[in-house]
């Protein structure tokens, strides 16, 4: 279940607000300047589908977003619990950073936790299958995929070189909750 928790950036142990309804999550994030929406596939996607098949299933939403925001490239990333570099990748994403372009992710399958540091608030968003998040360029944030990651995500970029992080050096990410394994 998707979730948004909002914290004071000095109090990581107590959420000021918590939302589980996707409409309420979208409204709260919109007020903070963050895109959150849901997409449905236009056709079934078989497990192990190719990048082209995944993109084709969401082509109308991808094209709409590319036209609205000027994104130039799209790809699909998949991570599984047996990925040999999962621990190193997790550590890379867990440090607070910014980007010079929006970070846009649509979760085709699985889940991941984006945490945004906006002024004196921290927005902790658990994204699951069907969720799209658009983190605006320059936003301080980090991402957790858990110790046993599982997700398939569509990524949209304005920079054809893809994901480029500028680390802030702030240790705030170490003080906030990590992604908990999904209940099975």
Residue 140 tokens, joined: 């301080």
pLDDT for the residue numbered 180: 83
Q: What is the chain's mean pLDDT, rounded?
A: 94
pLDDT in tens, 3-42: 999 999 999 999 999 999 999 999 999 999 999 999 999 9
The whole-angstrom separation of Cα 3 and Cα 38 is 13
Tell me what pLDDT residue 141 has: 97
Selecting from 3.50.50.60, 2.60.120.10, 1.10.3720.10, 3.40.50.12280, what CATH number does the domain 36-111+127-170 have? 2.60.120.10
Tell me the pTM: 0.94
pLDDT in tens, 73-87: 999 999 999 999 999
What local confidence, expressed as pLDDT, does residue 164 receive? 81
Closest CA to 9 of 183, 170, 179: 170
- Taking only Cα atoms into account, the Rg of the chain, rounded to an integer number of angstroms, comes to 16
């Amino acid at each position: 279940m998707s979730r948004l928790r909002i914290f004071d950036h000095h109090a990581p142990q107590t959420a000021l607000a918590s939302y589980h309804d996707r409409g309420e999550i979208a409204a709260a994030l919109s007020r903070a300047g963050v895109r959150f929406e849901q997409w449905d596939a236009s056709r079934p996607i078989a497990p192990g589908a190719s990048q082209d098949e995944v993109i084709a299933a969401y082509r109308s939403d991808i094209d709409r977003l590319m036209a609205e925001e000027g994104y130039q490239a799209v790809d699909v990333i998949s991570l599984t619990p047996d990925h040999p570099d999962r621990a190193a990748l997790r550590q890379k994403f867990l440090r607070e950073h910014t980007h010079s372009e929006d970070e846009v992710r649509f979760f085709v399958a699985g889940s991941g936790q984006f945490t945004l540091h906006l002024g004196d608030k921290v927005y902790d968003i658990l994204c699951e299958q069907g969720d799209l998040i658009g983190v605006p360029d320059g936003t301080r944030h980090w991402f957790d995929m858990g110790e046993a990651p599982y997700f398939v995500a569509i990524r949209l970029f304005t920079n054809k070189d893809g994901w480029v992080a500028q680390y802030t050096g702030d240790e705030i990410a170490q003080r906030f909750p990590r992604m908990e394994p999904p209940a099975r």
